[in-house]
């Protein structure tokens, strides 16, 4: 993804924002670059708030895949990719900043002075924020058998972050996102034995990007189970057992309750009230991740409400700490 250079109104580049907000909190961190995230960003900036969107490749947005959108009022027949580029361009031109990266964990951080602070871990970096808007889309996956139980005990979602723990050991990589080949390459580079797994359609998309001899084994498989009592011992792929010390599951999205442990979920979607507030104070959610209908207009509207609610939340904290 390019650095933000969409307009002369952009205040910071991605790199500058990543550095600045690693310690000084941004007002509103928006997780996910899709219609809901860009709508939240436009409205956060409109309210005079600093806003950072952290997103995996925004072309992973569901919308990017829509060839023609017929139900956007006033704009029938546009391509999903065209609409998304327009939403993104608008947000960035207003001064919102986008940092490329997948958020792996959000941690509320006690300040003791009545203000909220969150730390968002992405790659090997941290972004500090006073409030958070989750716009991560619908989690189009169920965890594999053994995944939740062994998460943090051999199961990881980030090769860059956890790879060193498996140096000299055997890792199995389940590739479900475009950057998986690169992430698996990182494991090989730091001295892990890498068994690379992908489904037949994904192998067709990415197989040609795998350099000869890059991995110890390349396996086409579509069903997975992770085994081990207290620690991963093996991956079972399409019924065959592969002994492994670590299993890296590289998807473009992470289940919301793994992203923010303790957040209320209902039927797989983040529970919100009419102000888009989640069960965690200071954290709001919008778009497909809050439930049906999974549609653009709903995502845009909820993004707006979430940004206004985050602004109101921050204003209330500012009043309380002033008095």
Phi-psi region of 225 (alpha: psi -120 to 50; beta: other; left: phi over 0): beta
Kindly give the residue spans of alpha helices, DSSP state H, lying in 221-271: 256-259
Least distance from ligand FAD to the Cβ atom of residue 228, Å? 25
Structure tokens at 298: 């709903």
Nearer to ligand FAD, 27 or 179 (CB): 179
Task: Give dist(CA 85, CA 78) in Å, integer.
Answer: 11
| 121 phi and psi angles, rounded to 5 deg | -90, 125
Full DSSP string of 283-320: EEE-GGGG-SS--HHHHHHHHHHHHHHHHHHHHHHHHH
- Cβ-defined contacts of 212-221 (< 8 Å, 24+): 214/184, 214/185, 214/188, 215/173, 215/184, 215/188, 217/242, 219/195, 221/197
Residue 25: how many CA atoms within 13 Å on its side-chain side?
A: 19
Cα dihedral 180, 186, 187, 193 sign: positive
Least distance from ligand FAD to the Cβ atom of residue 267, Å? 16
Least distance from ligand FAD to the Cβ atom of residue 174, Å? 17
Nearer to ligand FAD, 69 or 195 (CB): 69
Structure tokens at 90: 């608008």
Contact 257, 265 (CB under 8 A): yes
Nearer to ligand FAD, 50 or 139 (CB): 139
Nearer to ligand FAD, 158 or 244 (CB): 158
Least distance from ligand FAD to the Cβ atom of residue 276, Å? 12
Least distance from ligand FAD to the Cβ atom of residue 111, Å? 24
Nearer to ligand FAD, 35 or 282 (CB): 35
Which residues of this chain interact with ligand FAD, rule CB under 6 A?
Answer: 31-37, 54-56, 58, 60-63, 65-66, 69-71, 102-103, 135-137, 252-254, 259, 287-288, 294-297, 299
Least distance from ligand FAD to the Cβ atom of residue 158, Å? 10
Nearer to ligand FAD, 62 or 144 (CB): 62
Nearer to ligand FAD, 62 or 215 (CB): 62
Least distance from ligand FAD to the Cβ atom of residue 33, Å? 4
Which residue has 């829509």 as its token pair?
Answer: 66
């Amino acid at each position: 993804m390019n650095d933000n250079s969409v307009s002369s109104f952009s205040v910071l580049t991605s790199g500058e924002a990543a550095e600045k907000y690693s310690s000084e909190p941004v007002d509103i961190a928006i997780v996910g670059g899709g219609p809901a995230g860009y709508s939240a960003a436009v409205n956060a900036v409109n309210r005079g708030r600093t806003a950072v969107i952290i997103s995996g490749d925004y072309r992973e947005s569901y919308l990017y895949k829509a060839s023609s959108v017929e139900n956007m009022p006033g704009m029938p027949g546009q391509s999903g990719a065209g609409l998304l580029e327009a939403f993104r361009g608008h947000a960035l031109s207003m001064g919102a900043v986008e940092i490329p990266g997948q958020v792996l964990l959000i941690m509320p951080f006690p300040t003791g002075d009545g203000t909220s602070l969150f730390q968002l871990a992405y790659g090997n970096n941290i972004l500090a924020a006073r409030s958070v808007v989750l716009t991560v889309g619908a989690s189009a996956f169920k965890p594999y058998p053994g995944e939740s139980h062994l998460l943090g005990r051999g199961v990881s979602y980030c090769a860059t972050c956890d790879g060193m723990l498996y140096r000299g050991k055997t890792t199995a990589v389940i590739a479900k996102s475009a950057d998986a080949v690169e992430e698996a390459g990182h494991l090989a580079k730091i001295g892990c034995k890498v068994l690379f797994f992908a489904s037949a359609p994904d192998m067709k998309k990415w197989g040609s990007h795998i350099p000869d001899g890059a991995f110890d084994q390349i396996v086409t498989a579509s069903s997975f189970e992770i085994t081990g009592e207290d620690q991963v011992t093996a991956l079972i792929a399409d019924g065959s057992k592969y002994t492994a010390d670590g299993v890296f599951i590289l998807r473009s999205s992470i289940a919301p309750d793994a992203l923010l442990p303790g957040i209320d979920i209902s039927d797989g979607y983040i529970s919100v009230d009419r102000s888009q507030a989640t069960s965690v104070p200071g954290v709001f959610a919008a778009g497909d991740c809050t439930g049906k209908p999974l549609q653009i207009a709903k995502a845009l509207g909820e993004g707006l409400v979430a940004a206004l609610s985050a602004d109101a939340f921050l204003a209330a904290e500012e009043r309380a700490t002033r008095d």
